[in-house]
Structure 1
Amino acid sequence: MSAQDTTDSKGNDYLVPALQRGLRILEMFNDQERALGSNEIAIKLGVSLSSIYRILFTLTEMGYLQKLGKNLYELGPQVISTGFSYLASRDVVDVAVPFLNTLRDKTSLSCHITIREQTESLYVYRAFAPQRLSVNIPIGTRIPCHCTAMGRVLLCELSTDKLNQLYQSVRLDDYPPPAPKSLPELLQLLTEDRERGWVIHRSDYSTAIATAIRDHTGSIVAAINLSGPEAVLDTETVRSQCIELLLHTASCISAQLGARRKQIQRGQATSKQA
């Protein structure tokens, strides 16, 4: 027997089958599978119904599952209060910083992170690229959301009704191109942004590409970007590479905040073209 076989054997000896099955049961629930029957759970695990009865009973008694009917279950409140309390307490900037610094180092482009406050995009962190031509927006800067790539990403979280309420008293025609001049124009841009999963914005000889950061609920809680001189991001090949790196970075940050893979993938387009 090889050393690897010995290690695997010892590892298997330490497994607790009942605990393993219990955790796999909890993993079955997601935004598509919100309720599952006991028979369906047993089939997914590849075991008999009798072999998981005590596990289902224990999870229900502890509040990790709750019964909807005789043999139908959904996740219980204990999953939310215990599983996500730590994730929710993590500050998005603290989580994002090492990833953005790595992204900056890989691309030699500046990276920023913003959050939304009403109709403004608030810059809360920057990973500044130390080169002669770079985009450097100080922390604390506020820019109208509809004027920037990250701002539009943040607005993608809102429904049409909420956007109408938010902008009912806001004039959009006072800002220079390429900012939208009206609410219908902004709504159309946001529809396209949601479908694409990222936003590119060109202005003042610079280009910015932005995408969303999501939390454990799948909601957009922040936006990140890559920004630099227009000449640097002028070719399709470079833009495609930057978009791929940006989306990967956003996925890593979102995963650290508790977002599930399906939530992240649903918010990102597979296209690599600008």
Structure 2
Amino acid sequence: MYAEDELTLQDDDGRNDYRVPALFRGLLILQMFNAQTRTLSMNELAEGLGVTVSAIYRIVHTLTEMGYLRKLAKNTYELGPQVVSDGFSYLASRDLVDIAAPHLNALRDRTSLSCHLSIREQTDSLYIYRAFAAQRLSVNIPIGTRIPCHCTAMGRMLLTGLSPAALDALYQSVRLDDHPPPAPKTLPALRQMISDDRERGWVIHRSDYSTAIARGIYNHLGEVVAAINLSGPEAVMDGEVSREHFQQELAQTAEAISRELGGHRAG
């Protein structure tokens, strides 16, 4: 004799429905919580599923025992720590380059411009991936290249992830006046530049007849963990219509990569 959870049901079209009812309801319960709905009572859970409280009592109890729900008060629940632990353990196991590479390759193909991915190591922007546009005037920065953060578009986006206090601590012993404009020459100037970059959400940087536009990649806490750019000849990048198109393409790509990391932009 089969238990209820093992029954093979038929849907309205007469086709076999192999869903496990208890598992199906348990996952639906977890999906009922979101940024706007952080707590739910047992009655609200049952009402959301269109069933009685007794029909989901054992499911809710099991989810609570396993840490997927946390009981706050009598018959009131929120998502438990196991949801976050499982989700972000999986996300952390995926390499940033593996996630970003397909998106950057597609961005390069759509724009015919080179794309790069970098992370911050102290005051340097470290290039860890490139999608090279094979054209005569393409920007081609090799993987492993390190460039001071305050001198590049991606580096400046990486610095937006630091608080003003952390930025001051990082640069308190760093000499800034030996780099050409538009790199800031003083710590107060750097602080103001990064504050403006953070508020804008993107950076454009021109140098040596080329232009780069950068955006940040965010994790589940809204923290900047990497940056990507689109870079190409000044003549191609600096037209107003072209620049707006490239900014939109870059923004969509940064959002897609962040989403795969479970991330979002803070604020």
Structure 1 and Structure 2 fold alike (TM over 0.5): yes
Is the CA contact 2:46–2:56 (under 8 Å) kept in the aligned structure 1? yes
- Look up the SS of the partner of 1:84 in the other structure: helix
Deviation at 1:35, TM superposition (A): 4.1
Query: Is 1:65 the counterpart of 2:69 in the alignment?
Result: yes
Q: How does 1:44-59 map to 2 (within 5 A)?
A: 49-59=53-63
- Look up the SS of the partner of 2:184 in the other structure: coil
Partner Cα distance (1:48, 1:163) in 2: 55
2:184 maps to 180
Query: Is 1:155 the counterpart of 2:150 in the alignment?
Result: no
From the superposition, tell whether residues 124 and 63 of structure 1 become closer, same or farther in structure 2 (CA, over 3 Å).
same
From the superposition, tell whether residues 176 and 77 of structure 1 become closer, same or farther in structure 2 (CA, over 3 Å).
same
Q: How does 1:160-175 map to 2 (within 5 A)?
A: 160-175=164-179
Partner Cα distance (1:205, 1:216) in 2: 37
Is the CA contact 1:87–1:258 (under 8 Å) kept in the aligned structure 2? yes
- Look up the SS of the partner of 2:235 in the other structure: coil
Is the CA contact 2:115–2:131 (under 8 Å) kept in the aligned structure 1? yes
* 194-203 vs 27-36, greater mean Cα deviation: 27-36
1:90 maps to 94
From the superposition, tell whether residues 111 and 23 of structure 1 become closer, same or farther in structure 2 (CA, over 3 Å).
same
1:108 aligned partner, one-letter code: S
- Look up the SS of the partner of 2:252 in the other structure: helix
- Match 1:22 to one of 26, 38, 56: 26
- Look up the SS of the partner of 1:113 in the other structure: strand
CA RMSD of aligned residues (A): 2.6
1:270 maps to none
Partner Cα distance (1:185, 1:58) in 2: 56
Deviation at 1:41, TM superposition (A): 4.4
TM-score scaled by structure 2?
Answer: 0.85
From the superposition, tell whether residues 10 and 80 of structure 1 become closer, same or farther in structure 2 (CA, over 3 Å).
farther
Post-superposition Cα deviations, 1:210-243, rounded to whole Å, max 9, x if no partner, equal: 1111233332211110001111011111111111
TM-score scaled by structure 1?
Answer: 0.83
Query: Is 1:219 the counterpart of 2:223 in the alignment?
Result: yes
Is the CA contact 1:198–1:212 (under 8 Å) kept in the aligned structure 2? yes
From the superposition, tell whether residues 69 and 113 of structure 1 become closer, same or farther in structure 2 (CA, over 3 Å).
same
- Look up the SS of the partner of 1:96 in the other structure: helix
* 112-121 vs 28-37, greater mean Cα deviation: 28-37
* 88-97 vs 73-82, greater mean Cα deviation: 73-82
Deviation at 1:195, TM superposition (A): 2.4
Structure 1 gaps of 5+ residues are: 1-5, 268-274
1:146 maps to 150
Post-superposition Cα deviations, 1:3-36, rounded to whole Å, max 9, x if no partner, equal: xxx9984679344454344323323444555444
Query: Is 1:108 the counterpart of 2:112 in the alignment?
Result: yes
1:94 aligned partner, one-letter code: D
Partner Cα distance (1:29, 1:217) in 2: 18
